[in-house]
């Protein structure tokens, strides 16, 4: 399809971890119009951080990037697919849809999240920062990578069987303006394993294609939201974040599970936004200590995490470990999971933030508090396939749209991931840099279907 569209490209197959990062750091970008990864989300993470680690990062990061989904985690491709107006798709159908959108041309700004870790190192995220259940499943399921996207299904089952809560402190700078509308009552269509291409939108004006794409591949090709939390003047506590009356009658009183004991009865405890409470014990040099009972591997010393010292300054963030400025909201308590996500999708068939856009200038914070039953948590993830999880009325589920956030794990052991890649465990903070990157998306689809 790409050849028939008249797009010339140079194909490089990566040979090791961080190979893509090294390639783009030394690439003569003026010779190319874009960089496409034929992979899952992890390789694009390498590419973007490689661009931002160049001396000319201000120009380099403007290079359009795109993705053709051939990995086990294809979250960004799922968001691109939705933006293009296609029905939810998986596997080959998702690959065909994204290929067609690539051939049609078109791009839009891409928000990037600057993430500063406990050691002071920094990386850039286009997708998510996760702690708790989501990151546990992501890393634990690595051993099932040969199963493709089914690894996450198996990992979820195992994670539910061995569910943990983590005590921590989440602080965020709320978005000043409400930008999201409520989730539709019936959510979005559910992805099917076999789908035909949806009717194409009106063709875009002809674009002159020059030899452009350097594709990078690490894998063989396989054949409405709640309103953002706002703060009242002079109050450190958030106003109500979610309406808890949206669940159907069959859900009432079932979130704790009569026959499925809640993991923790402790509620989240608001604390003053600028309280300089103690952080975790200092992170020692080298590989951080990881749980010995969960079976989760520690990050390797050369993991594709945070080594970037370049990129734009984080003007919204004080130094990690210092008090936060006024206007921040802080929650402390027991969490089952915390997820900070930029685009709409957490997976090709998981719509975590249904009305998020690639360039809305927001990070969408979702968390689940302790006290939820295993059955209720499973029900949330099943509803997430349609983007309707916020309409269930789960009292443990929280959401806020933010410009920046700080996460301070108070449980001494756990797993943190950035774009699905394991990073050092400890306190971290991040802020959105609106439109810092450029994403090849193809033309937008039907009105109302844009993420």
15 CB-near residues (< 8 Å, 6+ apart): none
Whose CA is closest to 265, among 164, 374, 372?
A: 372
Report d(CA 349, CA 230) in Å as an integer. Answer: 30
Hey, which bits of 249-362 come out as E strands? 269-270, 329-341, 345-347, 350-351
Report d(CA 315, CA 158) in Å as an integer. Answer: 41
Q: Would residue 41 show up in a list of annotated catalytic residues for this protein?
A: yes
Q: How many residues does the chain have?
A: 451
Tokens of 431: 């802020």
Q: Across the strands, what pairs with 363? A: 402
Q: Alpha carbon 224 to chain centroid distance? A: 18
SS3 43: helix
Query: How many CA atoms does the CB half-sphere of 287 hold within 13 Å?
Result: 11
Among 33, 41, 260, 359, the one annotated catalytic? 41
SS3 302: coil
Report d(CA 314, CA 405) in Å as an integer. Answer: 12
Q: Alpha carbon 373 to chain centroid distance? A: 24
Angle between helices 41-52 and 75-83 (to 10 degrees): 90
Q: Which residues are catalytic?
A: 41
């Amino acid at each position: 399809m790409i050849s028939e569209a008249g797009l010339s490209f140079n194909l490089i197959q990566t040979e090791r971890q961080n190979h893509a990062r090294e390639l783009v750091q030394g690439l003569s970008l003026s010779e190319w119009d874009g960089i496409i990864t034929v992979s899952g989300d992890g390789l694009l993470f390498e590419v973007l951080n490689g661009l931002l680690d160049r001396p000319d990062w201000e120009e380099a990061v403007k290079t359009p990037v795109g993705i053709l989904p051939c990995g086990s985690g294809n979250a960004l491709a799922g968001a691109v697919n939705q933006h293009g107006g296609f029905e939810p798709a998986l596997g080959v159908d998702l690959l065909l849809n994204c290929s067609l959108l690539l051939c049609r041309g078109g791009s839009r700004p891409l928000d990037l999240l600057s993430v500063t870790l406990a050691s002071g190192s920094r990386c850039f995220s286009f997708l998510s920062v996760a702690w708790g259940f989501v990151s546990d499943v992501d890393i634990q399921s690595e051993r099932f990578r040969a199963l493709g996207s089914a690894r996450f299904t198996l990992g979820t089952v195992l994670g539910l069987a061995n569910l943990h809560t983590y005590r921590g402190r989440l602080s965020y700078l709320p978005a000043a303006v409400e930008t999201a509308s409520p989730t539709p009552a019936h959510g979005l269509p559910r992805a099917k394993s076999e789908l035909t291409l949806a009717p194409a939108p009106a063709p875009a004006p002809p674009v002159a294609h020059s030899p452009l794409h350097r594709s990078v591949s690490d894998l063989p090709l396989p054949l409405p939201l709640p309103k953002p939390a706002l703060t009242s003047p002079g109050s450190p506590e958030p106003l109500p974040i979610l309406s808890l009356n949206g669940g159907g009658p069959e859900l009432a009183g079932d979130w704790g599970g009569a026959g499925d004991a809640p993991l923790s009865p402790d509620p989240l405890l608001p604390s003053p936004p600028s309280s300089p409470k103690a952080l975790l014990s200092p992170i020692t040099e080298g590989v951080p200590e990881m749980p010995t009972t969960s079976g989760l591997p520690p990050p390797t010393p050369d993991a594709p995490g945070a080594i970037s010292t370049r990129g734009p300054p984080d003007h919204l963030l004080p130094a990690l470990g210092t008090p936060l400025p006024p206007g921040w909201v802080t929650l402390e308590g027991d969490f089952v999971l915390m997820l900070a996500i930029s685009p709409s999708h957490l997976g090709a068939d998981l719509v975590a933030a249904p009305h998020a856009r690639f360039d809305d200038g927001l990070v969408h914070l979702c968390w689940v508090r302790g006290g939820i039953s295993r059955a209720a948590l499973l029900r949330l993830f099943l509803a997430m396939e349609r983007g309707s999880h916020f309409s269930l009325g789960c009292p443990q589920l929280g959401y806020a749209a933010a410009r920046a956030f700080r996460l301070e794990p108070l449980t001494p052991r756990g797993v943190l991931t950035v774009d699905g890649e394991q990073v050092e465990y400890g306190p971290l903070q991040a802020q959105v840099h609106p439109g810092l990157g450029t994403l090849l998306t193809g033309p937008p689809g039907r009105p109302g279907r844009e993420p």
